Amino acid sequence: MSLTLTDITLTYPDGEDRLTALDRVGLEVPRGSLTAVVGPSGSGKSSLLAVAATLITPDAGTVTVDGTATTGLTRGELAALRRHRIGIVFQQPNLLPSLTAAEQLQVMARIEGRNPRAARSRALALLDAVGLADRADHRPHQLSGGQRQRVNIARALMNDPTVLLVDEPTSALDHERGAAVIDLLTRLTHQRATATVLVTHDRTHLTAADRIAEVHDGRLHLQAPVR
Ligand SMILES: Nc1ncnc2c1ncn2[C@@H]1O[C@H](COP(=O)(O)OP(=O)(O)OP(=O)(O)O)[C@@H](O)[C@H]1O
Ligand SMILES: [Mg+2]
Dist. CA 95 → ligand 2 center (Å): 20
Q: How many domains does the chain have?
A: 1
- pLDDT score recorded for residue 203: 84
What are the pLDDT digits (tens) for 183-226?
A: 999 999 999 999 999 999 888 889 889 999 999 999 999 987 77
pLDDT of 62-93, one tens digit each?
999 999 999 999 999 999 999 999 999 988 88
What count of Cα atoms within 13 Å lies in the side-chain half-sphere of residue 140?
15
pLDDT of residue 25: 98
pLDDT at res. 112: 76
Q: Please report the pLDDT score of residue 213 as a whole number.
A: 96
Mutation test residue for ligand 1: of 5, 19, 170, the one with most atoms within 8 Å of CB:
19
Residue nearest to atom 4 of ligand 1 (CA): 12
Q: What is the pLDDT of residue 225?
A: 74
Contact, 135 vs 147, CB < 8 A?
yes
- The confidence score (pLDDT) of residue 90 equals 86
Using the mean position of ligand 1's atoms as its centre, give its distance from the Cα of residue 23 in Å.
Answer: 13
Amino acid at position 152, single letter: N
3-state secondary structure the chain: CCEEEEEEEEEEEECCEEEEEEEEEEEEECCCEEEEEECCCCCCHHHHHHHHCCCCCCCEEEEEECCEECCCCCHHHHHHHHHHHEEEECCCCCCCCCCCHHHHHHHHHHHCCCCHHHHHHHHHHHHHHCCCHHHCCCCHHHCCHHHHHHHHHHHHCCCCCCEEEEECCCCCCCHHHHHHHHHHHHHHHHHHCCEEEEECCCHHHHHHCCEEEEEECCEEEEECCCC
Per-residue pLDDT, 217: 95
The residues, ordered by sequence, that sit 6+ positions from 4 with a Cβ below 8 Å of its Cβ are 27, 28, 29, 62, 63, 64
Closest C-alpha to 48, from 170, 193, 168, 155: 168
Rounded to two decimals, the pTM is: 0.94
User: How far apart are the CA of 219 and the centre of ligand 2, in A?
Assistant: 15
Find the domain containing 205 and state its range.
Answer: 3-223
Q: Cβ(46) to ligand 1 under 6 A? A: yes
| pLDDT of residue 111 exceeding 80 | no
Which of 4-13, 43-52, 87-96 is predicted with the least confidence, judged by mean pLDDT?
87-96
Which listed ligand is nearest to 12 at the C-alpha? 1
Task: Compute, in angstroms, the gap from residue 203 CA to the centroid of ligand 2.
Answer: 16
pLDDT digits (tens, 9 = 90+) for 140-189: 999 999 999 999 999 999 989 999 999 998 888 888 888 988 999 999 99
* pLDDT (0 to 100) of residue 142: 97
To test ligand 1's pocket by mutation, which of 47, 170, 220 has the most ligand atoms within 8 angstroms of CB?
A: 47
- CATH number where 143 lies: 3.40.50.300
Whether ligand 1 lies within 6 angstroms of the CB of 41 is answered as yes
* Beta carbon of 79 within 6 Å of any ligand 1 atom: no
Distance from residue 66's CA to the centre of ligand 1 (Å): 27
Site to probe by mutation for ligand 1, drawn from 8, 9, 17, 43 as the one with most ligand atoms within 8 Å of Cβ, is: 43
- Of 116, 39, 82, 200, nearest in space to 73 by CA: 82
Residue 105 has pLDDT above 80, yes or no: yes
pLDDT at position 227 is: 66
CA of 212 to the centre of ligand 1 (A): 20
